[in-house]
């Protein structure tokens, strides 16, 4: 079955440390997205990518970085510059066309040690 | 700019009762509208989508939603709640004009509790 795989499920970060969240999809979608979810705030867009080797900042990109070297993969790095990284992170993908639904992975929960 | 408002961050119903989750949107162009469900510690699952083909949209798990342009609403309903419906529900809007990028704007979510 096609889908989106996020790993790890749970991740812990020490102060001053960068951590990378993995997102892989086998849906053959061109567009991929990273969201941050905090209680009571819905989903906020961090970065998105429409095509390989191209990505754009979303609404809350500060303290995060991404790469898109392969169509299937869109890893997110939470850098030490992100002062409040504790959240649930969701990766999604879609057909690169307006009005299409996004398909989501099961998320990674990041906590600070 | 587009936006989505979900009225009621928490809704509680009895098992077997009607479920009504409210969503109002603003959009300067005909919107594409979606409802997603999220169970604890999981991703979002698409319940249904409105893409202008019909104003009453049927989705999975017995849910349906009606697009009302005059009220700018897209409320989600289910005639009879089941315990397994307890989850968080998100309404989302897209303007469909993304030129290769499909941006969704999400509401803040409504947590549905179902009690016996």
Residue B63 has pLDDT above 90, yes or no: yes
Average pLDDT over residues B18-44: 92
pLDDT at A39: 83
Residues 35 through 94 of chain B touching chain A, CB cutoff 8 Å:
36, 41-46, 49, 51, 90, 94
b/e sequence B97-115, b meaning 16+ C-beta within 10 Å? ebeebbbbbbbbbbbbebe
Smallest CA–CA distance, residue A11 to chain B, in Å, is 13
- C-beta of residue A91 within 8 angstroms of C-beta of residue A4: yes
pLDDT per residue of chain A (113 residues) written in tens, 0 to 9:
679 999 999 999 888 899 999 999 999 999 999 999 998 788 999 999 999 999 999 999 999 999 999 999 999 999 988 889 999 999 999 988 777 889 999 999 999 88
pLDDT at A99: 76
Q: Check the CA dihedral B78-B3-A3-B88 and report its sign.
A: negative
Residue B90 has pLDDT above 60, yes or no: yes
> Which of A6, A9, A1 lies closest to A73 in space, CA to CA?
A6
For residue range B26-36, list pLDDT tens digits in order: 987 778 899 99
A·B CB contacts under 8 A: 73
Most B CBs within 10 A among A43, A95, A105, hence the mutation to make, goes to: A43
pLDDT, greater one: B98 or B18: B18
Neighbouring residues of A87: CB distance < 8 A, sequence distance ≥ 6: A36, A37, A38, A109, A110
């Amino acid at each position: 079955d096609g889908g989106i795989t996020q790993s790890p499920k749970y991740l812990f970060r020490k102060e001053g440390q960068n951590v990378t969240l993995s997102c892989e999809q086998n849906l053959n979608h061109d567009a991929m997205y990273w969201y941050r979810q905090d209680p009571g705030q819905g989903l906020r867009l961090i970065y998105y990518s429409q095509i390989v080797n191209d990505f754009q900042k979303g609404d809350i990109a500060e303290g995060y970085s991404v790469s898109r070297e392969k169509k299937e993969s869109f890893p997110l790095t939470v850098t030490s510059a992100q002062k409040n990284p504790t959240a649930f992170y969701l990766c999604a993908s879609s057909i690169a066309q307006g009005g299409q639904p996004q398909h989501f992975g099961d998320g990674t929960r990041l906590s600070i040690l | 700019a587009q936006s989505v408002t979900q009225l009621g961050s928490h809704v509680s119903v009895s098992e077997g009762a009607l479920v009504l989750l409210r969503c109002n949107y603003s959009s300067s162009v005909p919107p594409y509208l979606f409802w997603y469900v999220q169970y604890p510690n999981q991703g979002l699952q698409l319940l249904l989508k409105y893409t202008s083909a019909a104003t009453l949209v049927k989705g999975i798990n017995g849910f349906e939603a009606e697009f009302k342009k005059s009220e700018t609403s897209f409320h989600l309903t289910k005639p009879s709640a089941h315990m397994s419906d307890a989850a968080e529900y998100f309404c989302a809007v897209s303007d469909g004009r993304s030129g290769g990028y499909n941006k969704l704007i999400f509401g803040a979510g409504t947590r549905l509790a179902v009690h016996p």
